[in-house]
Amino acid sequence: MAKILIIDDDPDVLTMLREMLEREGYEVVAANDGEKGVKCYRDNPTDIIITDIIMPEKEGIETILELRKEFPDIRIIAISGGGRIDATDHLKVAKHIGAQYTFSKPFERKALLKAVRNLIK
């Protein structure tokens, strides 16, 4: 069974993603900011990370950079609802620094699950 780490500061998004992925048979662990997410991954690596971009403590871009430097083969999906600038701009940066897939919130369930399946193959 593949294990997925979700990093998002929105408890509703965390719950929704957890339930969606667990229904598909994935094991899910969660962190509510980038700092905790990095520690969680270091302590117990997962097959995939799904990270929000705009978060307190450590934002998603910083999280991706730190994890990618330490674990170059890590598989990442970045999600964002925006912030002060359009989500598309944040997601372009995330893609450029190593996220394999990016999704704007709200995203389509089927598209996210397809990305997860593709990364697990």
* Stated pTM of the model: 0.94
Q: What are phi and psi of 110, to 5 degrees?
A: -60, -40
* CATH number, position 73: 3.40.50.2300
Tally the residues of the chain.
121
- Looking at residue 1, its pLDDT comes to 87
Considering its fold, how many domains does the chain have in total?
A: 1
What tens-digit pLDDT sequence spans the chain (121 residues)? 899 999 999 999 999 999 999 999 999 999 999 999 999 999 999 999 999 998 888 999 999 999 999 999 999 999 998 555 555 788 999 999 999 999 998 899 999 999 999 999 8
Amino acid (1-letter code) at residue 121: K
Q: Quick one: DSSP state of residue 14?
A: H
What domain range is 63 assigned to?
Answer: 3-120
- Spatial distance between the Cα atoms of 6 and 32, rounded to a whole number of angstroms: 8
pLDDT value of position 85? 56
